[in-house]
Amino acid sequence: MKTILIVDDEPRTREGVRKVLEAWSAGQYEIALASNGIEALDWLSQHEASLLITDIRMPEIGGLDLVEKINHMPHPPVVIIISGHPEFDYAQRALQFGVVEYLLKPLDKIKLIRAVELALKREESKNRIERMEKLVDPKLLDSVQEENSYSPQVQEAIQYLNEHLQKPLTMRDTAEHLHMNASYLSVLFKEQTGLTFSEYLTRKRVQRAKELLSGTRLSIGEVAEQVGYQTAKYFVKVFRSMEGVSPGQYRKTIMHSEESIQ
């Protein structure tokens, strides 16, 4: 369940926002409370929030200082600022920190709910982008974007590679299929893509494996077979060396982020 953290040193405002959001969410979100910035940071060090709603003026750590600190966290929540003061400098600084909305007290219930809905949509988009970044290999993405500038021989080699990922594949096989000298194709491939044939093939296989891990229920062994590895053990070793986690751990991370979207 996603969590909304409300931070305000005024108990009346804090409880008022909580009641409005509990009625609106009908149990779909957990509502957590903190009475000041220090309490909020302590809570965020142990939990994750999708949305932070914070007052701007609080003792010790104000709302903007709180936002600045959480921006350094691995997965910071999106933020709505509430304030009793329509001060331009505050609003401008809030925008610089990526705050979604700046609401003035006394809070209008409808405006509050609209701001919360907008903020949660923003958080959903952010999560979707993060998931895509986990799926995409940046070096392969650069290569695809440059593919039209490659020579016909290299383009044909890439096409052949893509069509035979599930089979044992070598530079010699590819060169023979294209009726080329393997050494010449090897030099040409590295020169134009910036990757050796072997590096490109490995990245393509891992990329395809990530797509299968995130989009299917195939076992690790079945995924290994689909992307051209004869043993699951070797596939796991290659995948871990590329991604820093095992295929199973990668799948759990992706599935968790999918399930967290409402």
Element counts in the chain: helices (H) and strands (E): 13, 5
- Written as six digits, the tokens of 144 are 């695809």
Yes or no: say if 228 and 205 are a contact pair by the CB < 8 Å rule: yes
Residue 182, domain extent: 138-259
What are the pLDDT digits (tens) for 177-199? 999 999 999 999 999 999 999 99
Q: What is the pLDDT of residue 260?
A: 38
Same-domain check for residues 181 and 82:
no
**Does residue 74 sit within a domain?**
yes
67 has pLDDT over 60: yes
Mean pLDDT across the stretch 80-98?
81
Q: Which of 128, 152, 167 is the last residue of a domain?
A: 128
Q: Which of 71, 96, 128 is the last residue of a domain?
A: 128
**Side chain identity at residue 215, one-letter code:** G
Same-domain check for residues 59 and 117:
yes
Q: 102 forms bridges with which residues in the sheet?
A: 81
Q: What is the pLDDT of residue 259?
A: 44
What residues contact residue 98 under an 8 Å CB cut-off, 6+ apart? 71, 78, 79
**CATH number of the structural domain spanning residue 106:** 3.40.50.2300
**Does residue 133 sit within a domain?**
no
What are the pLDDT digits (tens) for 120-167? 999 988 887 777 777 778 888 888 788 889 999 999 999 999 999 999
**Does residue 172 sit within a domain?**
yes
Distance CA 90, CA 31 (A): 26
Pairing of strands 51-55, 29-34: unpaired
